[in-house]
Amino acid sequence: MKLQEIVATPYQGQEAIRRWIAMAVCVVAALIISVWIATDHLLLLAVLAVATLVVVAAVGLRHNTWLLIAFACCFTGDTNALPIPLTIYDMVVLVVTASYVAQRLIGTPAARRPLGLLDALVAINCAVMTLTFLVHPVGLRSLGAETVGARPYFNLFIACCACWVLARQPDSYTHVSRIPLWIMAGMTIATSLPLAAHIFPSLTPYVWFVSGNVDVTNYLEDIRVVTAMSGEHVRRLTELGPFGLMLIQCLCAYYLPRSLLNPLRPRFYLFAIGLAAVLLAGYRNTLLFAFATLVLASWFRGGWRELVLGGAIGALTLGFVLVGQGRFYELPMPAQRALSFLPGKWAEPVKEEAEDSNARLDWWRQMLQEGVIKNWWIGDGFGLSEMDYELLHGHSITEFAALSGAFHNGPLTAIRYAGVTGLVAFYALMLAAAVLSVTAVGRCRGTPLFPVAIFLAVQLVWLPVHYTFVFGAFNEELPNLIFLVGLLLLVRRLSARQPPRPPGSPAARHPLRNGRDFSSVASPQP
């Protein structure tokens, strides 16, 4: 375009100037990226990629960037494509947090809510972990530190960022009511990657490049690096466990659990897929969590009547499975292992593994008597020395647990890492979240938020029981609990703004079919 035309048509001239500027920026960026690729500056490329994602998230999604956190919360495997071991979830949370901060800086108003008990308890737990870090400082192996194992502290920081954003940014009842679906969508993709590598071992190197949550056993056997395991060994599809459990929790959030057992409805087959995935994973604690989900969801939706009726149907179905096992049919080995805590005719390899697992009580007693935990008040902190880290290879599971603190017991791991002080703070947060999640179910009944309230309450109510008596790891459960607390704070904030809707209203019967956004509905202050 000539200069006279630009002057004569200012609007077209501005558009032409923007195009030229955009082209110049793209050319310069391409040249810089080419130089970085040629000189192997991977860290600079990673920084540029993150900065680009921040801009895209801030400009494109704007106030809906928090949806990325719900979608990516299941991508927990390290991304081996980066020089620093980060997960996709870590990068997404950092990007969304930076985007939210940018929106606040340019003047976008944030949702106001009063601070409460959960906020105080989250702060106390963070303060306890900060004290633990100061007493027992630890670094990252990737940065050349002498002590390694600081990843739990970083996970705690990521969880706090996610909790901060989730408790303040979301403002759409429609989007919040579909949080279980967003999480389920992310879980499906996160599970399909390692599952594809399991079915097609040749894909393992490519999947490993994106996510570290992949079992390389089949790949090593395929290229004859290791000898194939005996067929009598219980080979489990461990990656299917979280997927199956999440699918069952998602179904129970939107449907009455008793209706999942009706073969005339499509939801029955989705429930069957979820239960089969849990059984093929072979973890008894995951199967127990699935049973607890059915029980709690029945109680939240229909009270004791639904609980008794659904429990009776489930008990009859389970009894039929147990009676037929070993007499009329043989369940797959992983399914037998998951059910082995119940009476039945199980295969010998399953019995041997069950006996080894049941010996943990003696193992814990031995570790306590030997004084494995040094500081009972503030704990021994996370991390190991570089020498101990190298010695872990080749040690027995008992010696590995003594060095790393992986006791497979919730209270013991809390005392090992954060002491009795951390244990008390963690239980206070768990119990408060469980009680407030039950009250949130009552506040959200008859509204579009009812499914997500059940989805959270099922997990938060069962967590103290599961952590204490079944299985727990403090370094994993504390960040996960803070993430769930962020969702609970979000639900409580929106439920306080939305007026109650009668149980027979369309929004109560079909919460997902109501496309209206109730964020603008005026309501009395709580």
Do residues 253 and 454 lie in contact, with contact meaning Cβ atoms separated by under 8 Å? yes
The conformation of residue 466, written as its DSSP 8-state character, comes to I
pLDDT in tens, 116-138: 899 999 999 999 999 888 887 77
Rg (alpha carbons) of the chain, rounded to whole number: 26
Please state the rounded mean pLDDT for residues 449-471.
Answer: 93
Do residues 200 and 156 lie in contact, with contact meaning Cβ atoms separated by under 8 Å? no
pLDDT in tens, 204-227: 777 777 776 666 666 555 554 444
> Of the candidates 235, 209, 207, 210, which has an alpha carbon nearest to the alpha carbon of residue 221?
235
Give the residue with greater pLDDT, 476 vs 202.
476
The CB-based long-range contact list for 463-468 (8 Å cut-off, 24+ gap) reads 463/430, 463/433, 463/434, 464/427, 464/430, 464/431, 464/434, 465/292, 466/285, 466/288, 466/289, 466/292, 467/410, 467/411, 467/430, 468/410, 468/411
- Residue 140 vs residues 76, 199, 421: alpha-carbon distances, Å: 18, 34, 25
Q: Where are the alpha helices (DSSP H) in 147-225?
A: 151-166, 173-177, 179-199, 204-210, 217-222
Measured on CA atoms in the order 380, 385, 389, 395, is the torsion positive or negative?
Answer: negative
> Of the candidates 146, 127, 124, which has an alpha carbon nearest to the alpha carbon of residue 135?
127
Q: How many helices (H) and strands (E) does the chain have?
A: 23, 4
Q: Which residues lie across from 139 on neighbouring strands?
A: 148
Of the ranges 269-273, 276-280, 296-300, 352-356, which one carries the lowest mean pLDDT score? Answer: 352-356
Question: Encoding tokens for residue 425?
Answer: 């703070």
Backbone angles phi, psi at 327, to 5 degrees: -110, -50
Report DSSP letters for 277-288, one per residue. Answer: HHHHHT-HHHHH
Of the ranges 100-109, 351-360, 440-449, 458-467, which one carries the lowest mean pLDDT score? Answer: 351-360
- The pLDDT value recorded for residue 389 is 58
Can you say whether residue 458 is alpha, beta or left, with left for phi > 0 and alpha for psi between -120 and 50 degrees?
alpha
Question: Encoding tokens for residue 474?
Answer: 């403090």
With b meaning 16 or more CB within 10 Å and e meaning fewer, what string describes 377-395?
A: ebbbbbbbeeeebeeeeee
Classify 100 as helix, strand or coil.
helix
pLDDT band at residue 182, thresholds of 50, 70 and 90?
very high
Please state the rounded mean pLDDT for residues 46-64.
Answer: 66
Alpha carbon 355 to chain centroid, angstroms:
30
Q: Helix 474-497 and helix 410-444: axis angle, to 10°?
A: 10
The span from the CA of 200 to the CA of 97, in Å, is: 37
Max Cα-Cα span within the chain = 92
Give the residue with greater pLDDT, 192 vs 362.
192
> Of the candidates 167, 185, 184, 191, which has an alpha carbon nearest to the alpha carbon of residue 66?
167
- The pLDDT value recorded for residue 225 is 47
Give the residue with greater pLDDT, 462 vs 10.
462
